[in-house]
Structure 1
Amino acid sequence: MFTLVVQIDEELNRQPLLILVCCFILGILFQDYFSFKKNCILIVAIFCFFIAIFTLIKSFLISRIYSVILGVFFFGLGICVNYLNSPEASPVFLNPHQDIVFKISKKLNSTEKNKKYEGIVEVDQRNFSSVILIPKESKELDFKHYYKAKAYLAEAQSPEFDFQFDYARYLSRKNIHYQCYINDGISSSLRNDLTLGEKIRQSRLEVLQNINQSKMSSKSQEFLKGIILADRSGVDSETLQDFNKAGLVHFLAISGTHIVIIFGLLYYVLMRFLPLRFRKGVIILSLIFIWIFAVFIGFGNSVVRSCIMLSVYFIYILLQRKPDLLHSLALSAFIILVIDSQQFFDVGFQLSFLAVLGIYWLNQSILKLLPKPNNFFKKIFFNTVSISFSAQIATMPLVVCYFHQFSAVSIIANLFIIPFSEVIIVFSFLMTVLLAMKIDFWMFDTIYDFIIDVLLKSIHWFAKFESLFFENIPMNWWEAGVLFVIVYLLRFVVIKLNIKNFTQFTIAVFLFFILRISFSIFEESNNEILVHHYKKKNVLSVKSGTDVCFYIQNFDDQMKIQQYIIYPYCTSRRVKNVLIKKLPDNTGKVVFNKKVYELK
């Protein structure tokens, strides 16, 4: 116990903020799992209050005890903050058919049949957040109108089985419990009570509309909206699939790379026109601009994280202190989670921070393995290789655990695409600025179209290496946890290959395979028969060992059934052989092993 306290104290001395933020996150997870009620939270809050008082008399405490007490304080703080950010209770409506008045708060990615928005809905003088779906051919909604329509209110339902994505839980973390389906008959009235945030979102929407009216091709328009304005709602499924298979989705979505490049562009331009003595002023102006830009595009997790990290980094520079990447990362995570602790459960948040941690942990070690560059271009190339590889290795366990897929070609694709990203992002940013001012040059449109066409064709070429794209990979959190340990130990093997480091790494790898084989044997020993519901049809699955047979009535929906039922089930149950059989459309019951299963 004494040794553990010493280790915690040493870590706190090295990276105090990072360790305390980890304690804070553990508190968030603890409250999310146990869901303590008001009385328990009050006790925790009082306990944290007394700890805060004791920290004021640090000089009277032993350093080691002080470190542990501080960790406990942040753990309790995480519990309290997550309680305050917990989703509200769902409103109850006895009649699903309602006349609603609503305003939109966010545009979401469209489906095949509907446009989707998040909005504030009023029913019977009660206001609540909801997902709003309207027919795809309907006119685009905006932020400067109230809308009125007759809607069907459907409460988001949790899935029947553990292998399915819990969309209801995902929505509830955003305090959304209902989906409103509107077919037609939407009337509108102009608002005169727009908040500052809504005015900014409306301005962004108008810029998006300006891009739609440009002479560029539709694919270039959607790429431009995604890479600069964080709007991927109109990107076609084929393009998304290509980015996914090539492992380049992070390039399409605005991230830290984009923010750094835009910051660098503004800093470079200002320094060309202002004397060197104004360097501090240029840094401050550039930081102010990226924060304005972050507000304009909607405060995404990766954007806010990048802005905070850049701000902290350059504050260190301005104060003439040595910057610390982990301090910047921890501070940005703490600020985001204090504002909204539910953000921790967002996949984008987790991947964003893991990628930076991976770069911190592995980048320099990998660079040392590469040849020493003797010119500027080699230096850029080797840095791209090491940064890309570090980020992918660090995020790989989480990607496989959440999405059950991995693109091996992404390592090669990133080497070819990322070096040109700076040019593409800068050009895209300038195009967005021009179109925002309604300046549309035919020549610029043509050049941009050509560049994006070459880029998309290159990504499509990488995506065709389907043998290097692995999907439906079984993976649970225990296996992912051991993979993270392997990634952690990899650094020591790369830095110094000795018996101790190699043995620890090898033991972790063996433990991973032991776990994997054990879970596979466990699933193989389980036989089950399930009835899955999809729309108005039911699907029967009969599993025996590593084989499963699905009985489907409507083959017209087979692709969707495969996507939402068959693939997730086979991944979860580690099935190797799949057979799909068709049942007559009028089948109402199936008798199997003397047991009746209803299909209608």
Structure 2
Amino acid sequence: MRLLNFIVIRLSLFFVLGTLLGFCFEIKIYHQLIGLAFSLSLLLVYYLIQRKSFHPPYTFSALVYVVILQLGCVNASYHLPKNQENHFIHQTKNNHQTFVFKVTEAQKDNDFNYKYLADIYQINQHKSLGKCLVHYQKDSLRHHLEVGVVYQAIGKFQDFKTPKNPTDFNYKKFMERRGIKKQVYLKSENTVRLGVKQKRNLTAWAHYKRQEIKDSLAQNGFLKKESGLIQALVLGQKKDIDATTYQNFSKAGVVHILAVSGLHVGIVLLLLQYIFKPLDWLPYGKILKTILILACLWLFGLMAGFSPSVTRAVTMFSLFAVAINMKRKTNTINVLCISLLILLLIQPNRIFEVGFQLSYSAVFAIVTMQPPLFKLVQPKWKPLKYLWSVASVTLTAQLGVLPLSLFYFKQFPGLFMLANIVIIPLLGIILGLGILVVILSLAGFLPEFLQAFFAQVLNFLSFFVNQIANQEEFVIQNINFSEWMFISLSIAIFFLLLSFRKPNFGNLAPMLLGLSSFFVAALVEQSKTNQTHQFIVFDQARKTIIGSQFAGHLDLFYSAKNTNEIATNYAVKNYEKLEGLKTISFNKKQNIYALANEEFLLVVDEKEIYQLPELKNSIVLLTNSPKINLNRLIEILEPSLIIADANNYRSFIELWRTTAVKNKIDFHYTYEDGAWLKEWKQ
């Protein structure tokens, strides 16, 4: 099989590239349309010239790919909020506005607010469109918004905040890639319900049905942890899974079973094929069977919330269901690429979703590499053959997602093979039982013995996963993995997969080039780590945290009461993970730090020690609200820069800023400007 000669695969690759270019460069859409019209004109001319030729010239093929690339760009640009005239971001102002919105999806709440995704319908009597994130304040009466209901509110739209520390999660970027540019904070007193619950809205119906399932599971005696696992396994809803359980599944390398994916949808398709098999004997039974299976698959996808993996799997298995029941031959890779094209046409923002990338990478690896890998070993004993089948699928899937896993999560679960070999064969039984339990629970006919048995099954699953996750020595964490390493390893693995199908020079050469680039990138990254000294003043409220990093080691200096408070700090843990640190030492805060080129940083805290004229032209860090005369400090030290962290009173900050500006000294406030960072070569 000449894999890349399938036209749909080539078209998919160029459409994906075009989509990425459209989002990355944000070229004005009318410029793109002019370019697309020009390319289409050239394509038409070439077609008219070469239409009698059985083999079109390479120029014609190149033009086709250029057109597909441009279509991807145009499609991505069209979905950008700034290119939509009626999008509400063009109507928002820096004050409170009256607007109408409909709640479309509930998000995971926090201690202070409920969170929802909402469609904006109107702002100040002007029709609008677009999505925003709504924070709805919790109160003593437990008021909350309802999915599918239209509200009118008064609020001020705000941009998402950029991360304050260099390795913090960039929530602003994450939401913008979902097409959501603004957020708004609301209270019950300024929010009025305009409409009743719209029962015809399928998304709202699915939301309430999921809530009904959650309530029925609790009523039937399932504990919160067990209920969370059922909702994740059957419906792909992970909001009720506690952080420890999710982390354990991730460390064990089986977190994919908590997200409804191709494995789950494939099992559901097999069950539906069996249930509706009697329809084959009826006139037009195959057509009716296909329609019912498709309806059930998409209903399952709706109940699972149409996450990236669910949408891909349902689309792909729908095409398979049609092909199987209509007795049509099909190719898995073609079906995979067609589903990719369909989903990106409808919602190009999905290309940035980690779940979407992981889902397609895993399936592509499985369908290209698993069959030839499975043929390398042919056990005659059926149980062993089945285990080898599971192992080969697990191995190829893990290889396919390896670059993404290392790039996003910075860890590798060493015991993933063992965990999957045990869990995957049981997943069909667990999923089948889970669906049965959910249906009987909703109907009010769940037998007590079945509830107790399934609870024990879930407890065994959790126990086994916890045992695997607790083998910390097999979980490789804090892997330093740069973008260059990600790209080069992705290229190497892509052509390795193709080489399993067709081992020729055209596939082996790019694979070796990718591997060589990866090793060069790894050496460069290691050299950079070993030669670069990084000094950072973190943005932290109510405490001071200073870090000095060199050669994979971090010295942390802090003002907190205990070390554990710093070791578990979110900013510190993120910094440790994303910088690929090997060791950390914890120390009490000092007053003076040596930087590069005989430069010093002086910490001025509540002790108010700064009468050190020998430290002239140093950098000064103000922390813990020292009651000092800043003019006098400037007169003595003549600092080159004044830093104030978030561990200071706001009133002091404004006074210090005014004084610094008056004396023409740069002022850096970490709460507004982010953590202060300085790098130099050792």
What is the TM-score normalised by the length of structure 1?
0.86
Residue 520 of structure 1 aligns with an amino acid whose one-letter code is Q
Report the Cα distance in structure 2 between the residues aligned to 1:505 and 1:67, rounded to whole angstroms.
25
1:3 alignment counterpart? none
1:270 alignment counterpart? 276
Report the Cα distance in structure 1 between the residues aligned to 2:477 and 2:410, rounded to whole angstroms.
6
Q: Show CA shifts across 1:109-136 (max 9, x none).
A: 3446654332346775576511425449
2:401 alignment counterpart? 395
Contact 2:43 2:63 in 1 (8 A): no
Answering whether residue 307 of structure 2 is matched by residue 308 of structure 1, we say no
1:366 to 369, 373, 378: 373
CA gap of 1:500–1:60, structure 2 versus 1, over 3 A, is closer
Contact 2:47 2:60 in 1 (8 A): no
- C-alpha deviation, 1:254, in angstroms: 0.8
Answering whether residue 79 of structure 2 is matched by residue 73 of structure 1, we say no
2:12 alignment counterpart? 21
My pick for the range that moved more, 255-264 or 542-551, is 542-551
- C-alpha deviation, 1:464, in angstroms: 1.1
Contact 1:384 1:418 in 2 (8 A): yes
Contact 2:249 2:255 in 1 (8 A): yes
Contact 1:15 1:326 in 2 (8 A): no
- C-alpha deviation, 1:545, in angstroms: 4.5
2:107 alignment counterpart? 108
Give SS of 1:192's match: coil
CA gap of 1:52–1:362, structure 2 versus 1, over 3 A, is same
User: Greater CA radius of gyration, 1 or 2?
Assistant: 2
CA gap of 1:388–1:330, structure 2 versus 1, over 3 A, is same
Give SS of 1:36's match: coil
1:342 alignment counterpart? 349
Contact 1:87 1:174 in 2 (8 A): no
- C-alpha deviation, 1:108, in angstroms: 2.1
Contact 1:256 1:306 in 2 (8 A): yes
Report the Cα distance in structure 2 between the residues aligned to 1:183 and 1:498, rounded to whole angstroms.
64
1:196 alignment counterpart? 201
Q: How does 1:406-485 map to 2 (within 5 A)?
A: 406-485=412-491
2:677 alignment counterpart? none
Answering whether residue 592 of structure 2 is matched by residue 598 of structure 1, we say no
Report the Cα distance in structure 2 between the residues aligned to 1:391 and 1:23, rounded to whole angstroms.
24
- C-alpha deviation, 1:167, in angstroms: 0.9
CA gap of 1:82–1:405, structure 2 versus 1, over 3 A, is same
Residue 44 of structure 1 aligns with an amino acid whose one-letter code is G
Report the Cα distance in structure 2 between the residues aligned to 1:372 and 1:211, rounded to whole angstroms.
43
Report the Cα distance in structure 2 between the residues aligned to 1:558 and 1:215, rounded to whole angstroms.
37
Q: Show CA shifts across 1:474-500 (max 9, x none).
A: 101211223224434545887899999
CA gap of 1:520–1:434, structure 2 versus 1, over 3 A, is same
Residue 369 of structure 1 aligns with an amino acid whose one-letter code is L
1:354 to 356, 361, 364: 361
1:59 to 51, 60, 68: 51
- C-alpha deviation, 1:503, in angstroms: 9.3
Contact 2:279 2:288 in 1 (8 A): no
Report the Cα distance in structure 2 between the residues aligned to 1:537 and 1:154, rounded to whole angstroms.
27
CA gap of 1:51–1:443, structure 2 versus 1, over 3 A, is farther
- C-alpha deviation, 1:103, in angstroms: 4.3
Give SS of 2:538's match: strand
Report the Cα distance in structure 2 between the residues aligned to 1:307 and 1:218, rounded to whole angstroms.
29
My pick for the range that moved more, 462-471 or 583-592, is 583-592
Q: How does 1:247-258 map to 2 (within 5 A)?
A: 247-258=253-264
Answering whether residue 78 of structure 2 is matched by residue 84 of structure 1, we say yes
2:181 alignment counterpart? 177
Q: Could you tell me which runs of 5 or more consecutive residues in structure 2 were left unpaired when the two chains were aligned.
A: 83-88, 591-602, 621-642, 649-682
- C-alpha deviation, 1:178, in angstroms: 3.6
What is the TM-score normalised by the length of structure 2?
0.77
Contact 1:163 1:569 in 2 (8 A): yes
- C-alpha deviation, 1:581, in angstroms: 3.2
- C-alpha deviation, 1:60, in angstroms: 5.2
Report the Cα distance in structure 2 between the residues aligned to 1:80 and 1:536, rounded to whole angstroms.
48
| Cα RMSD, aligned residues only | 3.7
Q: Could you tell me which runs of 5 or more consecutive residues in structure 1 were left unpaired when the two chains were aligned.
A: 1-9
- C-alpha deviation, 1:297, in angstroms: 2.8
Q: How does 1:146-225 map to 2 (within 5 A)?
A: 154-160=158-164, 163-181=167-185, 189=193, 191-192=195-196, 194=198, 195-197=200-202, 198-225=204-231
Report the Cα distance in structure 1 between the residues aligned to 2:18 and 2:609, rounded to whole angstroms.
48
Report the Cα distance in structure 2 between the residues aligned to 1:457 and 1:477, rounded to whole angstroms.
36
Residue 26 of structure 2 aligns with an amino acid whose one-letter code is S
Contact 1:86 1:173 in 2 (8 A): no
2:238 to 232, 241, 255: 232
Answering whether residue 324 of structure 2 is matched by residue 325 of structure 1, we say no
- C-alpha deviation, 1:226, in angstroms: 1.3
Report the Cα distance in structure 1 between the residues aligned to 2:504 and 2:299, rounded to whole angstroms.
50
Q: Show CA shifts across 1:302-329 (max 9, x none).
A: 1221122122223334554421111101
Report the Cα distance in structure 2 between the residues aligned to 1:590 and 1:92, rounded to whole angstroms.
48
1:6 alignment counterpart? none
- C-alpha deviation, 1:275, in angstroms: 3.3
1:285 to 292, 308, 313: 292
My pick for the range that moved more, 486-495 or 29-38, is 486-495
- C-alpha deviation, 1:179, in angstroms: 3.8
Residue 76 of structure 2 aligns with an amino acid whose one-letter code is N
Report the Cα distance in structure 2 between the residues aligned to 1:499 and 1:318, rounded to whole angstroms.
40
Give SS of 2:162's match: coil
My pick for the range that moved more, 184-193 or 338-347, is 184-193
CA gap of 1:408–1:260, structure 2 versus 1, over 3 A, is same
- C-alpha deviation, 1:441, in angstroms: 2.8
Q: Show CA shifts across 1:452-476 (max 9, x none).
A: 1111111111111111112111101
Give SS of 1:474's match: coil
% identical equivalent positions: 22
Contact 2:114 2:137 in 1 (8 A): yes
- C-alpha deviation, 1:351, in angstroms: 0.2
2:23 alignment counterpart? 32
- C-alpha deviation, 1:99, in angstroms: 8.3
My pick for the range that moved more, 169-178 or 573-582, is 573-582
Answering whether residue 132 of structure 2 is matched by residue 129 of structure 1, we say yes
Report the Cα distance in structure 2 between the residues aligned to 1:424 and 1:56, rounded to whole angstroms.
55
Report the Cα distance in structure 1 between the residues aligned to 2:101 and 2:540, rounded to whole angstroms.
29
Give SS of 1:119's match: strand
Q: Show CA shifts across 1:228-263 (max 9, x none).
A: 222211111121121111111110111111111111
Report the Cα distance in structure 2 between the residues aligned to 1:178 and 1:28, rounded to whole angstroms.
23
Contact 1:119 1:132 in 2 (8 A): no
Give SS of 2:115's match: strand
Give SS of 1:527's match: strand
Report the Cα distance in structure 2 between the residues aligned to 1:153 and 1:536, rounded to whole angstroms.
28
My pick for the range that moved more, 279-288 or 577-586, is 577-586
Give the count of matched residue pairs.
Answer: 588
CA gap of 1:496–1:349, structure 2 versus 1, over 3 A, is closer
My pick for the range that moved more, 141-150 or 314-323, is 141-150
2:623 alignment counterpart? none
Q: Show CA shifts across 1:396-444 (max 9, x none).
A: 1111101111111111100000000000001111122223334333222
Give SS of 1:533's match: coil
Contact 1:135 1:182 in 2 (8 A): no
Report the Cα distance in structure 1 between the residues aligned to 2:179 and 2:586, rounded to whole angstroms.
39
My pick for the range that moved more, 380-389 or 350-359, is 380-389
2:94 alignment counterpart? 94
Report the Cα distance in structure 1 between the residues aligned to 2:160 and 2:561, rounded to whole angstroms.
26
Report the Cα distance in structure 1 between the residues aligned to 2:36 and 2:195, rounded to whole angstroms.
42
CA gap of 1:215–1:272, structure 2 versus 1, over 3 A, is farther
Q: How does 1:519-598 map to 2 (within 5 A)?
A: 519-535=525-541, 539-554=545-560, 562=568, 564-583=570-589, 587=605, 594-596=618-620, 597-598=643-644
